[in-house]
Amino acid sequence: MNILEVEQLKVWDKNTGKVILHGSSFDVKEGSCLAIVGESGSGKSMTCRAIMRLNKAWIGQTGVIRFRGEDLNQLSEKEMRRKRGRQLCMILQNGMRAFDPSCVVGVHFKETLAQHYGWSRAEIVSKMKQAMESVRLKNPIEIMNKYPHQLSGGMLQRLMIALAFVLEPDILIADEPTTALDTLSQYEVVEQLMELRERMGCSMIFISHDLGVVKKLADEVLVMKDGVVVEKGETETIFTAAQHEYTKYLVSTKRKMSRHFEQIMEGVAVAEGEWS
């Protein structure tokens, strides 16, 4: 059973006529995680923004984006606003862009949850406090009274995941959520995304260039290059029996980097042994 079906999605720049996505087609199964991979400029993020109908005014799009049988491309902006957050939730690459810099982050939670659920301030604070504690954020009330610039990138990403816990969307779209984070924060965010999936059973689209994370998180992988879908398959198949040359290149590069890292770490261990 597919929760999302994308057919012949074309995206272009209205000013220049340049085509960014050349008729992409794919689907997301109920409760599964689809990873979209490819180098910078391949069209990964543009695909996500097209699904959410969040591209700039000068970006045109055609095709079918069928969510639970309803074509999102045919909805008005008002109808889309009702779906964003509650049914389709997106975690951005840069956490700072998700929050109004002129307000404390608690205002964002209040406005979002009041709009979708009509909860009182006390209910919102209670539910967000519990969700923030579940993603290992200490002193949640204090954090809700801080401005975005007063919080680290890792904390902002975890705040977006905490909000997703409360919203309980049908599909969570994570657009390279670990790119701007240090290694420890990357690990924590991935662990929390996995926990969110397990607890909620929601479907997920995970955008990343980190194949190690993709292998850990995704059920299926979609490979993009220059705005074109070049391959799609189950994660294990993509990593062990890729068909397209570009996919083979991505996987082999990942393996080389992993071996290089292991060699470096072995060298560090030897050096530490010599000087201990």
- Give the rounded distance of the alpha carbon of 225 from its chain centre: 19
Give the mean model confidence (pLDDT) for residues 185-208. Answer: 85
Torsion of CA 158, 163, 169, 175, to 10 degrees: -40
Please give the single-letter amino acid code of residue 137: L
Distance from C-alpha of 97 to C-alpha of 198, rounded to nearest angstrom: 27
Residue 30 sits in which domain range? Answer: 2-275
The residue with greater pLDDT, 192 or 263, is: 192
- Domain of 251: which CATH number? 3.40.50.300
Number of domains the chain contains = 1
Joined tokens for residue 152 = 């680290």
Joined tokens for residue 73 = 């491309």
Q: Is the pLDDT of residue 49 over 70?
A: yes
Nearest to 46 by CA among 19, 17, 76: 19
pLDDT on residue 270: 46
Give the mean model confidence (pLDDT) for residues 18-31. Answer: 96
Q: Is the pLDDT of residue 276 over 50?
A: no
pLDDT on residue 35: 96
pLDDT, the chain, mean: 89
pLDDT on residue 61: 96
> Residue 18's pLDDT band (boundaries 50, 70, 90)?
very high
CA distances from 248 to 231, 256, 259 (A): 10, 12, 17
Percent of the chain predicted with pLDDT > 90 = 68
Give the mean model confidence (pLDDT) for residues 241-258. Answer: 84
Report yes or no: 158 and 188 within 8 Å, Cβ to Cβ.
Answer: yes
